Amino acid sequence: MGIRIGGTVTGVICCTALLAAVFASGARTAETPEQATRQQHVRESGATVMPFSLDKTVHSFDKTASGGIQRVRVRDDAAEQVAMIRSHLRDIAAAFSARNFDKPAHIHGAEMPGLAAMKAANPGELDVAYRELDDGAEIDYTGRTPAMIAAVHAWFDAQLGDHGRDAVTTKISSLDELRWLSGNWVADDGSQRVEEYWSPPAGDLMIGMSRSLRAGKTGTFEFMRIAARTAGVFFIAQPQGRPPVEFVLQSWNGTEAVFANSGNGDHLDRIVYRRNGDGSLTARIEGRNDGKRFAEDFAYRRRGTAPAN
């Protein structure tokens, strides 16, 4: 997949590298009918509390060593959602600081795991801090005791379970879970062939290489890395050996990973990767060229796998 740096095609990004982060976190199993019914109920109840659109936003719950961070960001060009996101998260952060958890109780029920402990937290046991993001806002929950940290984690797990596909986490436990990515991948549309190779993970790093071929000649090449850092998981591209360009894993839902521009100034806004049921990968890039939005999809298969009829 071609990355344009400064508006020029300069390299090929590996689709599988980005999607791997989705499965490294442990893809969710299919919901039972009971879970699906509850998730629909939660979605409908949430619409009476949350002013922003679930279809136009990404809601993430990431557990941390001291508690967790809840974020809501807009998708695509839904800039009109930002003010609603900030207003809602600012209000509930203030309510939670006052130990008022009526809104989540209304959506999820008073028996929601972790809720009673957070509601009963004494002063100094639980801090709740609101922060604005360029594309939304976040709430940082800090537990001051092991029991309070456990309550926040239980509450986050319940949020992820109840919201289903409407909520994600951006955390993965270890790059070793990406070992299946090691080896060769190819995309061929008849006019261009893209070849990828990835090394097995070692420590916090995987190393990749790619090239594109047209009419038997190399068109572009790229050096790549997938790096696990304290701040998250990053895909790092160096098209044509140029300085690195980074995209941070913003969300995943078990079948789709979204990497977002981390402020690198590149014209790409998002890189989206989806694992299909037949084992193939669909990759999508979204951005702007000369002020005009564009999106492009790419199909990838493991080398040696014939396309399905």
209 with 221: CB under 8 angstroms?
yes
Say yes or no: 189 and 91 in one domain: no
Say yes or no: 183 and 233 in one domain: yes
**Domain annotation covers residue 33:** no
pLDDT band per the 50, 70, 90 thresholds, residue 1: low
Say yes or no: 185 and 284 in one domain: yes
* Spatial distance between the Cα atoms of 294 and 259, rounded to a whole number of angstroms: 16
- Residue 283's pLDDT is 74
**Domain annotation covers residue 307:** no
Point out which residues pair with 259 in neighbouring strands. 249, 271
Query: Is pLDDT above 90 for 146?
Result: yes
Which of 123, 145, 168 delimits the end of a domain? 168
**Domain annotation covers residue 39:** no
**Domain annotation covers residue 143:** yes
The CATH number for 13's domain is: 2.40.128.20
204 with 228: CB under 8 angstroms?
yes
The pTM assigned to this predicted structure is 0.57
Say yes or no: 137 and 180 in one domain: no
Say yes or no: 8 and 121 in one domain: no
> Who has greater pLDDT, 302 or 140?
140
* Spatial distance between the Cα atoms of 121 and 148, rounded to a whole number of angstroms: 8
Query: Is pLDDT above 70 for 247?
Result: yes
- Identify each DSSP E strand in the chain by its residue range: 2-5, 8-12, 57-64, 67-74, 126-133, 136-143, 167-168, 183-188, 193-198, 205-214, 217-229, 232-239, 245-252, 256-261, 268-275, 281-289, 292-302
Give me the percent of the chain exceeding a pLDDT of 90. Answer: 28
Query: Is pLDDT above 50 for 23?
Result: no
Query: Is pLDDT above 80 for 161?
Result: yes
Point out which residues pair with 120 in neighbouring strands. none
Say yes or no: 122 and 204 in one domain: no
> Who has greater pLDDT, 185 or 35?
185
Which of 168, 198, 218 delimits the end of a domain? 168
Q: Number of structural domains, the chain?
A: 2
Task: Quote the mean pLDDT of the chain.
Answer: 79
- Residue 308's pLDDT is 45
**Domain annotation covers residue 113:** yes
Average pLDDT for 175-187? 74
Please tell me whether residue 108 adopts helix, strand or coil conformation: helix
Least confident of 30-44, 66-80, 137-151: 30-44
* Spatial distance between the Cα atoms of 115 and 277, rounded to a whole number of angstroms: 37
Query: Is pLDDT above 60 for 254?
Result: no
R_g over Cα of the chain? 21
Say yes or no: 160 and 179 in one domain: no
Say yes or no: 157 and 179 in one domain: no
Please tell me whether residue 257 adopts helix, strand or coil conformation: strand
Query: Is pLDDT above 80 for 66?
Result: yes
Q: In which domain, by residue range, is 239 found? A: 2-25+173-302
Which of 168, 195, 215 delimits the end of a domain? 168
Say yes or no: 236 and 259 in one domain: yes
- Residue 246's pLDDT is 87
* Spatial distance between the Cα atoms of 165 and 228, rounded to a whole number of angstroms: 24
Say yes or no: 237 and 291 in one domain: yes
Say yes or no: 197 and 283 in one domain: yes
Least confident of 65-69, 182-186, 253-257, 295-299: 253-257
Say yes or no: 177 and 90 in one domain: no
